[in-house]
Amino acid sequence: MRIAIASDTAPTTELEAALGGHGVLCDAAESIAELPSIVALSGPYDLVLLRIGQPLRTLLPALRDLRRRGMTLPVIVVCAGHAAAEEEEAVLHAGADDVLFQPLRLSVLHARMQAAARRARGYTCAELVCGNVTLDQEQHAVMVDGMRVNLTAREFDFLETLMLHKGVLLTKERFMTRLYADSEAPDSKIVDVFVCKLRRKLAAAGAAEIIRTVWGRGYVVFEPTQSAIEEARKARQPEAEPAPRGWVRRAPRFMQANA
């Protein structure tokens, strides 16, 4: 997840670092007034996170301005301390999607952020579905017709980014920012490698093709037809346990005797 974050109180450095531990990439604005330009020039983002002091009603003009400028991203407001019900209601009517009050557990904030981002993309729960492929954000697992597909952490993140933005063209630069925000990035050709590995692993499990290449621009996830799903299921490869390193598989004894 990639978010834009702003605060009218203390700097957001600690919050950014804490969210980074959950795989969230944060672009901080110096003030809430800068958010529209940050979103327009540095996006795309999954949501906007605003940390506000008291009183909560001071956020109303900024929220209304953001929505008047056409920003449709989910907005989560984190408020220091509690506020009157009337203020919370006014903030929601002004354009916020959720209002949370401190003290707040980070895991709860992250879960609410994921929920808001999913709903904005048309998903209602932690299971993202495309064709006969299901990605479970809560279990950190990918299944094809209920059969688990073994993916590396970065392969999972790559597929999650695609499925969260189903139907949206994503550039290689977007994937590089998502996958290597906290480490030195390799050549952008690594994105093609991820796509190749994902296609191979999903196809072996009987998944219909869901990743489309837009040459010279990037990749997009699309919904396959039912006939394509049925054809992929027929081509599913049987599961096989890998042999221990250094061992050589031998034919069963009855086969050796009849050889």
Ordered structural domains, the chain, with CATH: 2-120 (3.40.50.2300), 127-234 (1.10.10.10)
pLDDT for 178: 64
Residue 86 contacts by C-beta under 8 Å, 6 or more apart in sequence? none
Q: Bridge-partner residues for 170, per DSSP? A: 219
Q: Count CB neighbours of 22 within 10 A.
A: 14
Q: What is the per-residue pLDDT for 142?
A: 94
Q: Say what the pLDDT of residue 186 is.
A: 63
CA distances from 190 to 117, 142, 213 (A): 26, 21, 15
Please give the pLDDT value at position 259. 43
Task: Give the residue ranges of the chain where pLDDT is below 50.
Answer: 240-259
Q: What is the pTM of this model?
A: 0.60
Q: How far lies 141's CA from each of 115, 122, 155, 202, 216, in Å? A: 17, 20, 11, 13, 30
The per-residue pLDDT for 8 is 77
Q: pLDDT at position 166, please?
A: 83
Residues 6+ apart with CB under 8 A from 37: none
Reference 101, options 117, 88, 89, 116; nearest CA is 88
Cβ atoms of 210 and 198 closer than 8 Å: no
At residue 243, the pLDDT reads 39
pLDDT at 187: 66
Residues 117, 160 contacting (CB under 8 angstroms): no
